[in-house]
Structure 1
Amino acid sequence: MARHFRPVVVGVLVTTSAALLGLGPTAVPASAATNSFRGVNWADERDNFVDGTLVLGGLSTSDSYATTQSKADKILSGFQNNLGANTVRMPVNYSTVSGSYWNSYTGAIDKATGKGMKVILSYWEGDSSRDGKVDNLTQFWSMWQTIVNKYSGNGNVYFEPMNEPHGYSATDWKNLAAQWLGKYPGVPKGRIVISGIGYNQGLTTIGDDSRFNGTLISRHLYQFFDTSRHTEASWSSALTDSVGSYAGRVIMDEWGAPMTDGRNYDAASASDDFVNYIRGVSAAARTLGIGTVYWPGVRPNDHYRIQNINGSGTNISLSTTNASGRDRLRYSWGL
């Protein structure tokens, strides 16, 4: 999403725990660490807040399943070869899943899992609402039932019930997320990604709720979330302090900064807040063993994108927009 153009209210239910860098005694991790998630977001050029059908960069609603697979193979291979990625996060909504294009859209999901990649499927609300709530609960449950029926048996597919549920109170979001777990008990807890409160910021309140024991927890972190931070150390603290004792369950599945304007993220800066943000957050993720999923890997015309699409049709390839940004992304992954 073009999240970098939107103001955000900061300070949502974050617990300071600077001394806790890993797992505390109360944590119930899905794994000892999440750094096996090395990923990027593959997004719609219009942003993933779409009232109709989602169309990922490089794809078209006129594409058949086979054509989608052919295009997806080139894009996913670019993520793997250029970045070392093994995870891709993709949006879903009711219009996409309930319509005829779903048969083609699944070609991209199937190609990713066929290439051994993890796929995180996350629900986005429509553009006309943008209120941080599910647009239509009847359609929401129908959409997820279709997805769960198709992919619950595929160990490489992960389910994120909602992206940035900022319209709900902490209690209401947790109740809705718990309802999701109750409706789809056949989905293993370790393949469910529960968004933090607000804009995926409040993590410990999810971790502290025993209903979510064993699930993963999603964190989003952008420079514009807190423009008072100006140093690498302060940005490292922004991630470290927010995870509390639940680092072993947290995936930072959105973070990003400008990649098309020539910034050098390999060198420390005394004045560039974006450089300090990328360096500080990547260092903390590496130390904590937290998996990260960059926003975006591919989204045409987004100046945060870390990959360009070259060519057209099925004759496409990817290239890296910023080598230093790629370096820091890989650094966050522990590579």
Structure 2
Amino acid sequence: MFGFIARRKLVSGLCAATALAGSALFVVQAQPALAATNQFKGVNWADTRDNYNSGWVIPDGLAASDNYSQVYSIADSYIKAFQANLGANTVRLPINPPSVSQSWWGAYRGAIDAALADGMKVIISAWTQSTSTGTITDMTAWTNMWSTVVGQYGGNANVYFEPLNEPYGYSLSQWVSICSSWLAQFSSVPRGRVIISGTGYNDHVTGVGASSALTGTLLSLHYYGTWNNYTQESQWESDLNSRIGSYTSRTIIDEFGAPMTTGVNYLANHNGAVEQSYFAAVTDLSRADGMGNVYWAGLKTGDSYSMEYHNGSGLSNNNASGVTQVRWGWGY
């Protein structure tokens, strides 16, 4: 929790739907990302300590002692809850070199496999070891990690690969060079299944979008309400559009979020309140422009942004109005 909150504060300094009824599952099959990205209706499933971690990343509800079948069973339950409670069809999961090179990978694959068996799209994204590291610290370990992951999931059309989350330590040219090398090494993966992070904290995609070396890839944008103090939806939309430019057809907002445990009504005050106007802008713009988005976080105990909370052996929604607004952004 604290690592993520600190990161949002750091970014702030740097970057001056009726509720779903019943238990029906909403599963949408993978589609080619040609004219829009709104096939991605997703949530992040995050480590309670935060995905920035020097050891294994272990999403909320899993334990380092779990074996493959235990991870699969827990993940299957949570994925079905994401589908039934929210209508999600995508889950974004974190990896890092220790999580893939060490014994945890044998168990952790159960989460990916369960999501795929349940008809979900899976975005696998690489994290650095801390919020203070915006570059790949061990290129060999990072490359080996991706060789393992792509070797096992490169042939699955519902798996998408995000080489590095928030590459803020690189200049645009450096980041394009790293991504170009990734694309060359893993050329068997269709570019439409590679998600290139925007520069900085994924906070602008105009630079990577304009790069001819990255043509055909999807683009990842992060956007948070702590980055400005606007109170009008139009102000947030203008700022968001400036970060996307002409690349809406390739962009997925794969991190955005707002407090879900504080009782905010996200169906009101779209003009006049910071949190509600921000949240309305992201979801309205996503719907209008056909952009997919992946909410932060679908499940992360201790983070006020978490959309879900543990309710016995299942999951329940923290904020019905937040669910409604997210579903509106997904096109429901």
* TM-score greater than 0.5 by the shorter chain: yes
Q: AA paired with 1:107? A: G
Answer yes or no: is 1:329 the counterpart of 2:326.
yes
Query: How many angstroms apart in 2 are the aligned matches of 1:139 and 1:201?
Result: 26
Residue 251 of structure 1 and its aligned partner are, at CA, apart by: 0.2
Question: Which secondary structure does the structure 1 equivalent of 2:275 belong to?
Answer: helix
1:94 aligns with 97
Deviation, structure 1 residue 241: 2.6
Instruction: State the alpha-carbon separation in 2 of the partners of residues 62 and 171 from structure 1.
Output: 41
CA-based RMSD of the aligned residues comes to: 1.4
Structure 2 distance, partners of 1:4, 1:232, is: 23
1:234-245 alignment, distance < 5 Å: 234-245=235-246
Distance (Å, rounded) in 1 between the aligned partners of 2:263 and 2:273: 12
Distance 1:160 1:168 in 2: 16
For 2:92 and 2:190, how far apart are their aligned partners in 1?
Answer: 18
Identity of counterpart residues, as a percentage?
45
- The partner residue of 1:212 within 206, 211, 214 is 214
Match of 1:260 in 2: 261
**Distance in 2 separating the partners of 1:269 and 1:193:** 31
CA contact (8 A) 1:219 1:254 kept: yes
AA matched with 1:10: C
Mapped to 1, the partners of 2:271 and 2:327 lie a distance apart of 23
Quote the Cα distance in structure 1 between the aligned partners of 2:70 and 2:33: 36
Which position in structure 2 is the counterpart of 1:177? 179
Residue 317 of structure 2 aligns with which residue? 320
Deviations 1:59-106 (CA, angstroms, capped at 9, x unpaired): 011111111111001100110000000000000000000111101100
Tell me what 2:79 maps to: 76
1:230 Cα deviation after fit = 2.1
For 2:204, the equivalent position in structure 1 comes to: 202
**Displacement of 1:201:** 1.6
- List runs of 5+ in structure 2 lacking aligned partners: 17-31
What amino acid sits opposite 1:307 in the alignment? E
Q: C-alpha separation between the residues in 1 aligned to 2:176 and 2:132?
A: 19
Partner of 1:222: 224
* Structure 2 SS opposite 1:145: helix
Where in structure 2 are the equivalents of 1:160-171 lying within 5 Å? 160-171=162-173
- How far did 1:333 drift? 0.6
Please tell me whether the aligned partners of residues 308 and 319 of structure 1 are also in contact (alpha carbons under 8 angstroms).
yes
Which whole-Å CA distance do the structure 2 matches of 1:56 and 1:151 have between them? 19
Q: Which residue of 2 aligns with 1:139?
A: 141
Q: Distance in 2 between matches of 1:239 and 1:230?
A: 14
Letter in 1 for 2:82: F
Report what 2:308 is aligned to. Answer: 307
The residue aligned with 1:113 is 116
Q: CA deviation at 1:142?
A: 0.5
Paired residues in the alignment total 312
Q: Aligned ranges for residues 9-48 of structure 1 at < 5 Å?
A: 9-10=14-15, 30-48=33-51
C-alpha deviation, 1:202, in angstroms: 2.0
| Counterpart contact for 2:270–2:280, Cα < 8 Å | no
Q: 1:17 corresponds to which residue?
A: none
Q: Kindly indicate whether the alpha-carbon contact (under 8 Å) linking 1:4 and 1:222 is maintained by their aligned counterparts in 2.
A: no
Whether the 8 Å contact between 1:4 and 1:224 is mirrored in structure 2 is no
Structure-2 residue corresponding to 1:61: 64
* SS of residue in 1 equivalent to 2:10: coil
TM-score norm. by structure 2 comes to 0.91
In 1, the alpha carbon distance for the partners of 2:85 and 2:105 equals 28
How many Å apart are 1:270 and its aligned residue? 5.0
Kept after mapping to 1: 8 A contact 2:233/2:271 = no
Match of 1:148 among 139, 147, 150: 150
Cα deviations by residue, 1:116-153 (Å, 9 ceiling, x for unpaired) = 100001110002x7221012111000100000100000
Contact 2:42–2:91 (8 Å) recurs in 1? yes
| Deviation by residue 1:245-274 (Cα, 9 ceiling, x = unmatched) | 211100000000100010000112554211
SS in 2 for 1:46: coil
Which residue is equivalent to 2:54? 51
The residue that corresponds to 1:285 in the other structure is 286
Kept in 2, the 8 Å contact 1:196–1:202? The answer is: yes
Moved over 3 A (4+): 1-5
